[in-house]
Structure 1
Amino acid sequence: MKIIMIKRTICLVYPLFCLASPTWAEESPWTYRIGMTNIAFDASAKVYLNGQRVPGGSADASDNNALTFDFGYAINDQWNVRAIVGIPPTTKVTGAGTLPGIQLGKITYAPTVLTLNYNLPALGPVRPHIGAGVNYTRILESRDANLKSFDADHAWSPALHVGADIDVNRGWFVSIDIRKLYLKTDASGYLGPQEAKARVTLDPLLTSIAIGRQF
């Protein structure tokens, strides 16, 4: 599944590189960014076994790093729309609280974050911005560990965005962005003979650094 996603991403990104031309880059409203994003989860969960809440039971998710692709469109001098996608990472889900150390499963996921951003006054070569929008996280694969028939749902969430572009050369810039997602999902499976369900809060913080180009 990861290979398919990588091929699709390359097919999407390659034509955009081919379109880049210094003769019209400064006039174009389009930008692209390629970089690395750290995904740090602030996870917790309400866990149920056979319909009964497990007192103090919770869950945690391992952090990830992912290669990401960010596309932007300037509506005018003040407003722009940005979308970020990436190579789908895999997080390990473990028990926490009164369920410490239990390996529940692994999830390969693909978040897509779309935000509307407002450009703040520039500070020399630094062009800061703030924004808000929506995230859709698609679950590509769920793999069992101690929790059998492990499954997690796709999910929508609100997103906040703050960042800055730092001009380096004509048409080129370094981009630093922080996105906060308020993400919840439902997970289920079987822990031995017992049916397990959880309402999982993930709330990841996405911190990105990238090289950008106007094209």
Structure 2
Amino acid sequence: MRPALPLTCAASLLLAIALPATAQTSPWTLRTGPARVTLHTETRLSVAGNDVPGAAVAASGSDPLGLELGRRLDEAWTARLAIGLPLPESTLRTAGSLQAMVPPLSGTLGRVQYAPLVLTATWSPGRWGALQPYVGAGINHTRITRTEDGDLSGLTVDHAWGSVLQLGASWALDARWALFADARTVRLKTTARGQLTALGGLPAEAKVRLDPTIVHIGLEYRP
């Protein structure tokens, strides 16, 4: 897999929609700070082609360092590309009726490392003193970079696309530095597949809605 490819494409798109920079003020901003990714899962699980009533998969969240590159398009609009480093990981665990199968299942279905790229356009109504709120929308591409087997052997998880809604605000400290707080909600679905070794290698497929919430706070710098 090539996790750098979607980053390159998204960065190219960001540059393509950008307007020429003014000589007086840089249109670029760089943000960094701690981020919290919380996954809200809904699952439809089938084993050997048969639905398992009440089965669910719980996915753990993560706390990467958030990085965001921004490009002001005009006084109201800004294009933003956000990533998380190191790449987030999530542990997939049994939930719902699957808990009745522990044992023979261990409770850990597997682990996934992924590269989430979030490209949005935000609109601001203007500044009130040092405060500048904004709202936005865009797209998310989550690329699976590594999987680790648990109760599911031969675990594979599909890459996924989703829509994004965004809300945030910055507080200017001076001409170059600002504090910010930002929240994004993502609508995201994927499918995981593997074989349940403890059940004789029966094939299993889980269609999972993840719908992550990403909260990001930190410092903004304008060169």
Q: TM-score range by the shorter chain?
A: 0.7 to 0.9
TM-score with structure 1 length normalisation?
Answer: 0.87
The aligned amino acid for 1:91 is: S
State the Cα distance separating 1:25 from its structure 2 match.
9.0
Deviations 1:21-62 (A, max 9, x none): xxx996111111011110011112100000100010011100
Write the letter of the residue equivalent to 1:130.
V
Aligned alpha-carbon RMSD (Å): 2.1
User: Of 167, 170, 176, which aligns to 2:172?
Assistant: 167
Which whole-Å CA distance do the structure 1 matches of 2:195 and 2:128 have between them? Answer: 55
1:190 maps to which of 169, 183, 195: 195
Tell me, in whole angstroms, the C-alpha distance in 2 between the residues paired with 1:164 and 1:57: 39
Q: Does the CA contact (< 8 Å) of 2:27 and 2:72 recur in 1?
A: yes
Structure 1 CA distance for aligned equivalents of residues 82 and 204 of structure 2: 33
* CA deviation profile, 1:123-170 (whole Å, cap 9, x unmatched): 221100000000000000010011101110100000001000111122
Cα shift at 1:121: 3.0
Q: Deviations over 1:39-95 (max 9, x none)?
A: 011112100000100010011100110012101111100111111012111110011
Instruction: Name the count of aligned residue pairs.
Output: 198
Supply the distance in 2 between the matched residues of 1:118 and 1:183 (Cα, whole angstroms). 23
Select which of 128, 134, 140 maps to 1:135.
140
Matched with 2:14 is none
Matched, 1:28 2:36: no
Alignment of 1:9-28 (within 5 A): 27-28=25-26
Q: What is the DSSP-based 3-state SS (H/G/I as helix, E as strand, rest coil) of the residue aligned with 1:182?
A: strand
Q: Which moved more, 1:183-192 or 1:97-106?
A: 97-106
1:202 and 2:210 matched: yes
**Which residue is 2:185 aligned to?**
180
Distance 2:94 2:23 in 1: 50
Structure 2 residue aligned with 1:47: 45
Question: In 2, distance between residues paired with 1:75 and 1:170?
Answer: 18
Question: What SS class does the counterpart of residue 183 from structure 1 fall into?
Answer: strand
2:184 corresponds to which letter in structure 1? Answer: R
Measure, in 2, the Cα distance between the counterparts of 1:198 and 1:140: 19
Mapped contact 2:76–2:126 kept (Cα < 8 A): no
Structure 2 distance, partners of 1:202, 1:183, is 6
Percent identical across equivalent pairs?
33
Partner of 2:113: 108
1:145 to 116, 140, 150: 150
Supply the distance in 1 between the matched residues of 2:79 and 2:144 (Cα, whole angstroms): 25
Offset of residue 175 of structure 1: 1.4
Conservation of the 8 A alpha-carbon contact between 1:25 and 1:171: no
Residues 1:94 and 2:102 are matched in the alignment: no
TM-score (norm 2): 0.84
Amino acid at match of 1:63: G
